A and B are shown apart, each in its own frame.
Chain A
Amino acid sequence: MTNSIVSTGMQTSAQGDGNDPQGPQVRTARGQNPVLRALEVIGKGFRTVWEVPKARFGLILLALIVLSTLFAPWLSPYDPKAGDFEASIGPSAQHWLGTTSNGQDVLSQLLWGGRVSVMVAMVSGLLSTCIAVLVGLSWGYIRSFAGEFVGFIVNLFLVIPSLPLMIIIAAYLQNGGMSVIILVIVLTGWAWGSRVLRSQTQSLRSRDFVTAAAFSGDSSWRIIFHEIFPNMLSLIINNFFGAATSGALSEAGLEFLGLGDSTTVSWGTMLYWAQNNNVILTGQWALLLAPGLMVALLAVSMTFINFGVDRLSNPRLREGKA
């Protein structure tokens, strides 16, 4: 009978444990459907990112770039490869950005060329993030000699300068096209993310809720993907945009050196041909300026989005008055 007194006592004290910080209007229905809840979390994250003005600028810029390349067939005035026009003319009403020395329309090339650059950036960003997640999570979770070994390999990839490595691999695989470019970018681009994600994994795995999940009978596999992984999502997104940015820059660099397939139209190959045809001497600045500027804008948009994503993961970086 003493028990019952204690339990009523403690039940009232549970109510008095502190005010519900979110107020009483907690929805029960939404909390139960995992899909809805995931959407809710994503929506909330997106709102947080969107609220940062720099990130908003980045998102709009990225959307514009992606849309303009998607709609290239409708937007571009001419066939990008058809050299039907007078060669090497400056900007005019017919050719807003002039023509190449092969008589192709620069604006059309710019719109079509974006497809390759955006695609390479996204795919290489995605693939290197996947590798980074796999390596980072397992490297952070295992505590053994294998971990030390993985660490050494990752550090080796971090210190070996990536662009020269890309250049020589691409040189061996002459004209392998897009897939080779993506391959070398991914091969040299995963290490940084692995390192970041590994240290986050280590700090998360020392948290009590991870131990508690093991006590709840969950398997290591489930703990990694249900307890640790979701808590690293903002870092992973951050890593994706970072990897995609360097992917875009590397791709442009490799193609500029003529290491891609120089017959496709992309921002990098446009610069390659511009350089090879000495447009610097002919003074066609638009041909030089435009493709590089597009690469820069693509990189800028993703860098700026990351300002918002940072806010999700590092509270001290939250924008605020000093």
Chain B
Amino acid sequence: MKGRHVRYFFGKIGLFFVTLWAAITVNFILPRMMPGSPADAAIAKLSQNGPVTPEVRASIEAQLGMPKGNLLSQYWQYLGDVVHLNFGVSYSNFPQNVSDLVGAALPWTLTLVGLVTIISFIIGTALGALMAWKRGTAVDVTGTISSSFLSAFPSFWLALMLLFFLGYKAGIFPTSGAYSSTAIPNFSMDFISDAVEHSILPALTILLTSLGSYVMGMRNTMINTLGDDYVTFAEANGLRQRTVMLKYAARNALLPNLTSFGLVLGGVVGGSLLVEQVFNYPGVGLLLYQAVTNQDYPLMQAIFLMITISVLVANFIVDILYGVLDPRTRR
């Protein structure tokens, strides 16, 4: 029995690395499939700022492709660059390294999106469970309708609305950035409270737009588990309503919902990129926007790779959690 459980986790770890490799390879293939030569364009742009060193040229060509080069050797160089986080120099933020730029932006996004997503999943799951339990009542109907509306809102539009009404009109919240322009980033209480204040609007936007799918996902799976025999049997045995709701119906509905959490995550991350742009929040979303508008291809590719890896890691954690929560993986 133990052995099988271990096998589940090793299987997941193996799958994670294979998927990681595949994602890194997609990142390698993508620019090579594009018309024109992204590498030449990037190097041409870089050279406007000054001479391009051979190392930078090599890493850009490994990343974006050199039409006549040897694909295999480029691939090897590219894999090496990825391992050493060597993505060349940014053109739009010359002369900073791409990896430094991404490294500076990533923590902001990871903290904001990571925390909000977890909060959103918890609130959404709880609400969905409650709605399924009280199916057909006012709670359920209002919940269903409002979550359908919320998940239909374009995230960036909701961001604009909140920014306009709560930020500019009402003036309750700061309108731009992750902290006040006068503040110096450190771990003091002052700075943290300033940062939290700045993150409320973006967080609220991400929360509201991602909540709907978790609510509806949980509601629908729990309606299914409520019809299962073990729930009827639990009722026949006179278990407490709370026990039936939480430990029988909701506990079983949580498992499929957890899987969809991982899959919805990609969408949430995508939506939050646009939200960052609206609020001028210094995460990877804003950086990606700048890279795209300036056609800074090396930066763009590196950001895409980092976002993908983050989502893969999150999914991997979800898989592991699933294995812990479901005894059937031990068989």
A163 to B276, CA, bound (A): 14
Say whether A21 faces chain B, with CB atoms less than 8 Å apart.
no
B263 (CB) vs chain A CBs: closest residue: A158
* Minimum CB–CB distance for B315 against chain A, Å: 5
* Minimum CB–CB distance for B262 against chain A, Å: 7
Q: B-facing mask of A150-168, CB < 8 A → 1, else 0?
A: 0010011011111111011
* Cβ 8 A contact of A161, one of B38, B163, B270: B270
* Minimum CB–CB distance for A199 against chain B, Å: 12
Q: A-facing mask of B245-274, CB < 8 A → 1, else 0?
A: 000000000000000001101110111011
With a cutoff of 8 Å between Cβ atoms, the chain B residues found around residue A172 in the complex are: 31, 34-35, 38, 297
Say whether B77 faces chain A, with CB atoms less than 8 Å apart.
no
* Cβ 8 A contact of A257, one of B223, B262, B277: B277
Contact A271:B160 (CB < 8 A) given known A167-B292, A281-B168, A296-B149:
yes
Say whether A231 faces chain B, with CB atoms less than 8 Å apart.
no
* Cβ 8 A contact of B304, one of A168, A320, A322: A168
Say whether A256 faces chain B, with CB atoms less than 8 Å apart.
yes
With a cutoff of 8 Å between Cβ atoms, the chain B residues found around residue A252 in the complex are: 154, 156-157
B163 (CB) vs chain A CBs: closest residue: A280
A169 touches B30 (CB 8 A): yes
A256 to B26, CA, bound (A): 26
With a cutoff of 8 Å between Cβ atoms, the chain B residues found around residue A320 in the complex are: 136
Q: A-facing mask of B301-331, CB < 8 A → 1, else 0?
A: 1011001100110010000000000000000
Number of interface residues of A (CB under 8 A): 54
A155 to B259, CA, bound (A): 12
Say whether A285 faces chain B, with CB atoms less than 8 Å apart.
yes
A253 touches B161 (CB 8 A): no
A156 touches B22 (CB 8 A): yes
B269 (CB) vs chain A CBs: closest residue: A161
Say whether B137 faces chain A, with CB atoms less than 8 Å apart.
yes
Say whether B151 faces chain A, with CB atoms less than 8 Å apart.
yes
Say whether A292 faces chain B, with CB atoms less than 8 Å apart.
yes
Say whether A288 faces chain B, with CB atoms less than 8 Å apart.
yes
B308 (CB) vs chain A CBs: closest residue: A160
Question: Looking at A156, A171, A252, A304, which has the most chain B CB atoms within 10 Å of its CB?
Answer: A171
A316 to B292, CA, bound (A): 46
A208 to B278, CA, bound (A): 55
Say whether A275 faces chain B, with CB atoms less than 8 Å apart.
yes
* Minimum CB–CB distance for B98 against chain A, Å: 14
With a cutoff of 8 Å between Cβ atoms, the chain B residues found around residue A249 in the complex are: 152, 154
With a cutoff of 8 Å between Cβ atoms, the chain A residues found around residue B22 in the complex are: 152, 156
Contact A159:B19 (CB < 8 A) given known A164-B273, A280-B164, A288-B160:
yes
B289 touches A257 (CB 8 A): yes
With a cutoff of 8 Å between Cβ atoms, the chain B residues found around residue A158 in the complex are: 263, 266
B19 touches A164 (CB 8 A): no
Say whether B101 faces chain A, with CB atoms less than 8 Å apart.
no
Say whether B105 faces chain A, with CB atoms less than 8 Å apart.
no
B152 touches A285 (CB 8 A): no
* Minimum CB–CB distance for A105 against chain B, Å: 21
B288 touches A164 (CB 8 A): yes
B267 touches A162 (CB 8 A): yes
With a cutoff of 8 Å between Cβ atoms, the chain A residues found around residue B161 in the complex are: 288-289, 292
Q: B-facing mask of A296-314, CB < 8 A → 1, else 0?
A: 1101100110010000001
Say whether B295 faces chain A, with CB atoms less than 8 Å apart.
yes
Say whether A259 faces chain B, with CB atoms less than 8 Å apart.
yes
Say whether A220 faces chain B, with CB atoms less than 8 Å apart.
no
A292 touches B157 (CB 8 A): yes
A299 to B34, CA, bound (A): 31
Say whether B148 faces chain A, with CB atoms less than 8 Å apart.
yes
B34 touches A173 (CB 8 A): yes
With a cutoff of 8 Å between Cβ atoms, the chain A residues found around residue B30 in the complex are: 168-169
Say whether A317 faces chain B, with CB atoms less than 8 Å apart.
yes
Say whether A245 faces chain B, with CB atoms less than 8 Å apart.
yes
* Cβ 8 A contact of A295, one of B134, B154, B227: B154
Say whether B52 faces chain A, with CB atoms less than 8 Å apart.
no
A296 touches B152 (CB 8 A): yes
B293 touches A258 (CB 8 A): yes
**4 nearest interchain CB pairs?**
A163-B270, A292-B157, A299-B152, A322-B135
A-B contact pairs, 25 of them (CB 8 A): A155-B19, A158-B266, A159-B266, A160-B308, A161-B269, A162-B267, A162-B270, A163-B270, A167-B288, A169-B34, A171-B295, A174-B295, A257-B277, A257-B289, A257-B292, A285-B164, A288-B161, A288-B164, A292-B160, A295-B157, A299-B152, A303-B152, A321-B136, A322-B135, A322-B137
Given contacts A172-B297, A289-B161, 9 further A-B contacts (CB under 8 A): A155-B19, A159-B308, A163-B267, A165-B304, A171-B295, A252-B154, A253-B271, A280-B168, A300-B149
